[in-house]
Amino acid sequence: MRLEKITASLVNKAIEIYLEHAYEDEVLRAAHGVRFDEAMPIGEVLDNFEREESKLPAFSYRLGSQHYPHMKLAIWEAYYEGEFIFAVDRHDGFDFDKTGPDYDSWLGIKSHNHQAKVAIEDAWYQEKIPTLRRLKEERMSQSDIMRAFSGHTVMLVDNDGDAGAIMEMILSNAGYGCRWMGSVAQSLELIKTGDIRCGLAVIDLMLSDGSGLDVVKALRASAATQDIPILLTSAMNGSDVMMADIDGYLRKPFSAKALLDTVAQTIKRCYDGHDRLLEPKT
């Protein structure tokens, strides 16, 4: 949706749905409620949001949830210039000591956050509020999607199904063989079985059943994939991301052009001109 078409009324509706699914306790839900004057232009509404540090326009408003105070409602420009969507920013992608006594509790909080994100974004979709799923459906209906799994393939790992489908479509339509996985477990199984000839991996840092760094480690430990280029994606600052054993980083949200440019540049740099992975169509 174009930013100028987003109204204060639509933002209020999105907030109401968010709070309904994020809080079981009615008192807590009411305490975090906010409502904007419906006559306000969207620019004035977004003045109340935090402007995220990103190459693309991204705004967020911290509403929290029953189990986690840092979750946010976000309005992002998503993949295509001028296309804005509503999303839930879980804001829980930072690293956590796996050997610590609270690690299992942290995984439980992340699981709650993921479930809340899915429920809120599903409800938004049903109410025709612009989401990644709606953007995906609109764009996919306009394109013939290529899924060529012969030769080397881009391994795409992202637990957000709508984001994964859009990125798969962008890469496939550019001429890349592409295969999307939605979890650490699915990725590790694929690496173990060698089901595809993986030539490059694009991995989200924050996955519902673990960290994208677990997938990076598995790729580096396998003789078949130890030398492939790996790109990490995250909503976190690049300085906050462990950069060991990866070849590039894309901060979310990013455009389709940024994704394709980074993939192409990484292939050229890491493969040194050898045709080991299909170059995109021009």
3-state secondary structure of 234: strand
Of 139 and 180, the one with more pLDDT: 180
Q: How far apart are CA 228 and CA 230, in angstroms?
A: 6
Question: So what's the pLDDT on residue 239?
Answer: 56
∠ CA 136-278-81 to the nearest 5 degrees?
35
Model pLDDT for residues 190-229, shown as the tens digit of each residue: 898 877 678 899 999 988 888 899 999 999 999 888 888 9
3-state secondary structure of 171: helix
So where are the chain's domains? 3-130, 143-271
Question: So what's the pLDDT on residue 278?
Answer: 41
Model pLDDT for residues 46-95, shown as the tens digit of each residue: 999 999 877 789 999 999 999 899 999 999 999 888 999 999 999 887 76
For domain 143-271, the CATH class is alpha beta
pTM of this prediction exceeds 0.75: no
